Amino acid sequence: MRACYRIARWGRVVRANLREAHAHIFQLGRSLTMLDLGGCGSASSMLDAIADRASSLGENEWILAHSARPEGWDDPSWPKREQLDQVGGNRPIVAWCFDYHALVASSAALSHARIDASTKIESGVVEVDDDNEPTGLLLEHAALHMWNRVPEPDEDIRVEMVRAACTHLAALGFVEVHDLKAQAWLGGVLTDLLASGDIADMRFDLYPLIPDLKPSLKAQRNGFDKRVSIAGGKIFVDGTLNSRTAWMLHPYADGHPDRPTGTPMMTPEQIEESLDICKDVGLPIAAHAIGDGAVRAVLDAIEKTGCDHSGCRIEHAELIDEKDLRRFVDLGVKASLQPCHLLPDMEALRRAVPDRLDRVLPIRSLLKSGLAPGVDLLFGSDVPIVRADPGDSIHAAVHRRRDAMDASEAINPDETIDEETAWLCFGSE
């Protein structure tokens, strides 16, 4: 990377010429047009925000929202679909949890997606009330089923969303961006934007989902800019902490009785099959694995398939069992972490895994085991899950708590690292 220089932003010192190792470019651009619920501190304030947005829309227009964080509310309960119906004027409404693994939908949205109490979706949950009626809350693949039935923006708007996302990331100092769920069309759009000069001189490594891998490689053969490349395939092995769907080795303290250790999204055999598909085209895999159970399952599959030292990555790895730390080095697996997630996840961590807080984001231990910052220990944000400001991950990695918190409130402070090492994980020189 080129030499870095320091710039002041929002009262923090940040650096330019950085690598954003985990982003979702199109979804970031789309989120910039959606209602942001990140400032809502309760279900009632969320409903007020939706009502305000509804007042500015035409009849039957969709309301799309993101960044709700019930785990941070005094009462971590989602509003019900009937409440959404009332404040939204019976419009179709879809409001994502900030982690994009859960959402709440209005009656009109559920009807549009043909979701009712009898709907069964593999690796998904349609929550129902005591009368066996949908509450509106959808988890994991049920949430994706709903989102995939929201009307897509047309091509011109889609291109503008990608341009806006790239401009946003460039303004934060990023010159390299890894997209970890790249659409098959994304490389072509980025190529056109680079050629026209509509976005800054940036490099893009794209990791499409396994079903999109071959179409993406075909598009690349048809001609990508040299700054755009298909870098690997992406899989989702588990869910998230906030939804209690991250795959754990041991039960959650407050887990669902039907899934006490979370919700594996893939079997070991399916992980191995995906690794073999990537191996056949000479590319590594990038695996979403938040819980320690998911992390172990991916490491086991990499070892079993002989995909070690091929550039495979584990994304997130928010909990890692002590027995698996050294395996990253032994198998040549990169740890692609987002320390910034610690900041919104603090309440969820304390409620869900109070007995395993010493396994949360063991960054110092990974470095001591032999991973090199910026080489095989990478930092990113997962934007738009959280904002892309690199200062958030630097703060989380160095202090392990939010700005206003006392040092005694830090989570796993034994795993703090110094600021210079944290910047190196962003590719800073």
pLDDT tens-digit series, residues 77-92: 899 999 999 999 999 9
| Residue 206 to residue 186: CA distance in whole angstroms | 8
Q: What's the mean pLDDT in 373-396?
A: 95
Res 1: pLDDT: 35
Res 72: pLDDT: 84
Res 268: pLDDT: 97
- In the chain the domains, ranked by start, together with CATH numbers, are 6-23+160-424 (3.20.20.140), 31-147 (3.10.310.70)
| pLDDT beyond 60 at 8 | no
pLDDT higher for 131 or 302? 302
Q: What's the mean pLDDT in 258-277?
A: 96
| pLDDT beyond 60 at 428 | no
The proportion of the chain whose per-residue pLDDT surpasses 70, expressed as a percent, equals 96
pLDDT tens-digit series, residues 223-253: 999 999 999 999 999 999 988 999 999 999 9
Res 5: pLDDT: 34
- The model's confidence at residue 67, banded by pLDDT at 50, 70 and 90, is confident
| pLDDT beyond 80 at 11 | no
Res 122: pLDDT: 85
Q: What's the mean pLDDT in 153-166?
A: 95
Res 371: pLDDT: 98
Q: Which of 270, 191, 193, 201 is nearest to 237 (CA)?
A: 270
Cα distance from N-terminal residue to C-terminal residue, the chain: 7
**Total Cβ atoms within 10 A of residue 292:** 27
Q: 30 in helix, strand or coil?
A: helix
* Predicted model pTM: 0.86
**Total Cβ atoms within 10 A of residue 280:** 10
State the residue for tokens 């910039």: 32
Tell me the pLDDT of the chain averaged across its residues.
93
Res 99: pLDDT: 80
| Residues 319 and 353 sit within 8 Å (Cβ to Cβ) | yes
- The model's confidence at residue 394, banded by pLDDT at 50, 70 and 90, is very high
| pLDDT beyond 90 at 164 | yes
Res 13: pLDDT: 53
| Residues 307 and 333 sit within 8 Å (Cβ to Cβ) | no
| pLDDT beyond 50 at 196 | yes
| pLDDT beyond 50 at 7 | no
pLDDT higher for 208 or 102? 208
| pLDDT beyond 70 at 346 | yes
Structure tokens at 347: 């309440």
| pLDDT beyond 60 at 14 | no
**Which residues, including other chains, have CB under 8 Å from residue 348's CB and lie 6 or more apart?**
71, 241, 242
Q: What's the mean pLDDT in 188-216?
A: 97
Res 38: pLDDT: 86
- Alpha-carbon distances, residue 217 vs 214, 283, 312 (angstroms): 5, 11, 18
**Phi, psi dihedral angles at 167 (to 5 degrees):** -65, -40
pLDDT tens-digit series, residues 330-341: 999 999 999 999
The least confident of 15-19, 311-315, 342-346 is 15-19
Q: Which of 102, 106, 82 is nearest to 93 (CA)?
A: 106
Q: 232 in helix, strand or coil?
A: coil
Res 100: pLDDT: 80
- The model's confidence at residue 293, banded by pLDDT at 50, 70 and 90, is very high
